[in-house]
A and B are shown apart, each in its own frame.
Chain A
Amino acid sequence: MASALHLVVRLVHVLGMAVLLGGAALAWDAFRGAGDHDASADAPDGTDADGNDADDDSEGAGTSGSGALRLAGHYEWVFWAAMGLLVVTGVGNLGALGPPGPGTPWGRVLTVKLLVVTAFVLGSFIRTLAVVDLRARATTGPADGADGRRFCRRAYAATAWSLVAVVALAEVLAHG
C-alpha cells in the first residue's frame, strides 16, 4: 500500500514536471510564431491582413499574438496547479527517501535545488502577473502590443530553460 502510494506520488511529480516544461516550450514557440505581428492589424472579420484566419497557425506561419496570449493564459492556470502538486509530491518523495543531512553531497544538491526552485517560483509569479495584465488589456481594449509579446517570448524561454536546469538537478539527486 505504502509503495503503491509512493509510486503514485512519483508519477504525479514526473507528470507535473512534463506538463510544466512542455507547456512552457509550447508557449515560447507560440510567441515566437506570433513575432511582432500586431493583432490590431487584423480585419474585424477575424482574418489577418493577408486574408487568413487571424488565429490559424495550420499553415506553419505561427500563432497570432492574441492566440499566443490566450494559450499563455490557459498555461498559467495549469502551471500553478502543477506547481502546487510538484511541491507537495516533492516533499512526499523527500519523506519517502529520507532527507539527507545538509552537509552531505546529496544534501548540498538538495539545497541548491530548493533555492533554484524557490527563485523559479518567485520569477514565475512576476510572469503570471504580466500575462494577467496583458489578458486584461486584450479583453477591455486594443490588443496587446509588441512589447508585451516580446516580454512573454523571453519569459517563457527563461521558464523553459530554468525548468531544464531543475530537471538536471533532480536527475543528479535521483541518480548522481
Chain B
Amino acid sequence: MADGEASGEPSGGAGGGSGGAPVDRESADVAGEVGTVEDQERPARLERWALATFAVVTFGLVLVLVGHLHDALAGPLSDLGTLPGVLLFGYLWALSVAGVRVALGDGGLRGLRAAGTVRLLGRGAAAGAVVGGGFVLALVFVVLGQALLSGQFPLAGLLLYGSIGTAIGALVGSVVGVVFAVVAGGFSAASDALVEQPAAED
C-alpha cells in the first residue's frame, strides 16, 4: 500500500492544519480517528499511565541497582518475601498513578511545561509528597493491624511515629517528585524535538 499512495492526490481538507486549530473533523476521520472528546482524551490518559509507570519502574530499578552495587540486596529481599514485595510494588504503582493524575491535570506534560518551571516542579513535588506520604501511611496501618491482631493497641506511639514517618515520607517523596518532574519535562521537550524536526532519509 505504501508505494501506491505516492501518486495519490491529497484531498483538499486534509492538509496544512496546525496543532492549535479547532478540531478538523474531516481530516480526523480520514486518519481513521473520530475526533470526539473521548478520542482526544485517550492520548492524555496514555501519557498519565506511561509517566506513572515510568516513575515507579525507574525508581525501583535505581534502588535495585544502588542496592546491588553496595551488595545490600540479599537481606532486604529475603526479609520482604515475594508476595509482600509484589503487593508493596503494586501499591506504590497505584499511588504513582493517582499522584500523576493530580500533577498533570488536564493540560498534560506539555501544558505544565508551558505553565513554567516553577509550576512543573511544584506539581512534581506535590505528586511525590502524595506518593511518599501515602506509602508510609500504608506501612503504619499494616503495623497497626499487626498490633491489633496480637492484642495490643499502641495508639499513642503509632500516632507519634506514624505522623513523623508520614511527614518524612512526604518530604522524601517530594524530592523524588521534583527529580521526576525535571526528567519528564526534559524528555517531553526531547520527544517534541524528535517528532517535529524533519529526520534524514533512511
Contact = CB atoms under 8 A, between A and B. Distances in A.
Interface of A: 2, 5-6, 9, 33-44, 46, 48-50, 52, 54-57, 59, 61-67, 70, 73, 76-77, 80-81, 83-84, 87-89, 91-92, 94-96, 98-99, 101-102, 107, 110-111, 114-115, 117-118, 121-122, 124-144, 147-148, 150-151, 154
Contacts of A91: 60, 64, 77, 85, 89
Given A73-B43, A99-B73, A147-B195, A126 B190 contact: yes
Contact of B11 (A34, A42, A137, A147): A42
B5 A88 contact: no
Most buried by B among A6, A77, A81, A136: A136
B106 interface: no
Given A61-B4, A150-B199, 11 more contacts: A9-B86, A40-B30, A41-B14, A46-B32, A81-B53, A88-B89, A114-B68, A115-B65, A118-B65, A129-B188, A142-B16
A107 to B, nearest CB: 7
Contact of B50 (A61, A95, A111, A125): A125
Interface stretch (B20-28, B130-138, B155-163): B20-28
A20 to B, nearest CB: 12
Given A52-B1, A136-B40, A141 B47 contact: no
B7 interface: yes
Q: Which 8 A-B pairs have the closest CB atoms?
A: A49-B8, A35-B2, A40-B14, A61-B1, A143-B31, A95-B77, A66-B32, A129-B191
Where chain B touches its partner, the secondary structure class is helix
Contacts of A138: 28, 31, 33
A96 B27 contact: no
Contact of A62 (B2, B32, B44, B90): B2
